[in-house]
Amino acid sequence: MHTREEKLEAFGRFLDVLDTLREKCPWDRKQTNESLRPNTIEETFELCDALMKDDKDNICKELGDVLLHVCFYAKIGSEKGDFDIADVCNKLTDKLIFRHPHVYGDAQAQTAGEVIQNWEQIKLKEKDGNKSVLGGVPDALPALIKAYRIQDKARNVGFDWEKRTEVWDKVREELVELEVELDKDDKEKATDEFGDFLFSMINVGRVYHINPDNALERTNKKFIRRFNYVERKTVEQGKTLKDMTLGEMDALWNEAKSLERKGELK
């Protein structure tokens, strides 16, 4: 691993290159916050994909791409006279120190849970108490992740089940209400109840310490892996999926599951 001096030198070299590109490259010169935003979203998802795969080489590469965007926005900010990368770093450092009084102050927190419990109150103090508990959840978050964050923030101020097993009563209640509206064929109300049911299931993940987004993505990848096997074997038989009966596809699906359990399906 590199020394602190080497890290600072590498970061400085990167900033120098970014400055040069912003000045001399026609593409870099024309970029704005608005034009970069879609690419930032894409780069963030590419990093998340590498993290899910635990692909160390790609994690390193994608972290660099995300860092480029962070510094590019700071560069644009400096050109407008609004802020520069030093302001970004200083604001972040000040926030980290303020939010960790158990490290930089006299507060006590012996476990990660105790730290989390204190964070929401600390965040409210940052906003002079004028911001709501849920106000910090970005509107643009994907709905599943947003639901998890909403529930987690509410939990941090004591709005939660006394016993985690109580969450199953809510799941059963929401499932019954969903089934009633589906039987009525009322799409509008059924959509509302479907959302309530999903919200309750996300709550299950939260109280049992399972990240629902990670869990769903693992299932997505598992389905793709098994379905690709079914498709591949179908082609090997000289057929297409449309030629296969549901029973034949189920048989291949079960083969894929068996190979997966043995660690032979990648």
Consecutive 10-residue runs of the chain (266 residues): their mean pLDDT? 95 97 96 94 92 93 97 97 97 92 81 72 61 81 92 87 93 97 94 97 95 92 95 94 94 94 87
Instruction: State residue 128's pLDDT score.
Output: 52
Structure tokens at 223: 């389905």
Q: Is the dihedral of CA 28, 31, 36, 42 positive or negative?
A: negative
Q: Domain 132-210: which topology?
A: Helix Hairpins (1.10.287)
Phi and psi (nearest 5°) for 138? Answer: -60, 135
Instruction: State residue 132's pLDDT score.
Output: 78
Instruction: State residue 11's pLDDT score.
Output: 97
Instruction: State residue 126's pLDDT score.
Output: 62
- For residues 199 and 150, what is the distance between their CA atoms, to the nearest angstrom? 10
Instruction: State residue 130's pLDDT score.
Output: 47
Neighbours of 90 (CB within 10 A): 12
Q: Are 18 and 85 in contact (CB under 8 A)?
A: no
Q: Do domains 4-91 and 132-210 have the same CATH topology?
A: yes
129: left (phi over 0), alpha (psi -120 to 50) or beta: left
Instruction: State residue 141's pLDDT score.
Output: 87
- CA-based diameter of the chain, in Å? 72
In terms of pTM, does the model score above 0.85?
Answer: no
Instruction: State residue 215's pLDDT score.
Output: 93
Name the CATH superfamily for 4-91: MazG-like (1.10.287.1080)
Structure tokens at 266: 């990648």
Domain ranges of the chain: 4-91, 99-129, 132-210, 213-261
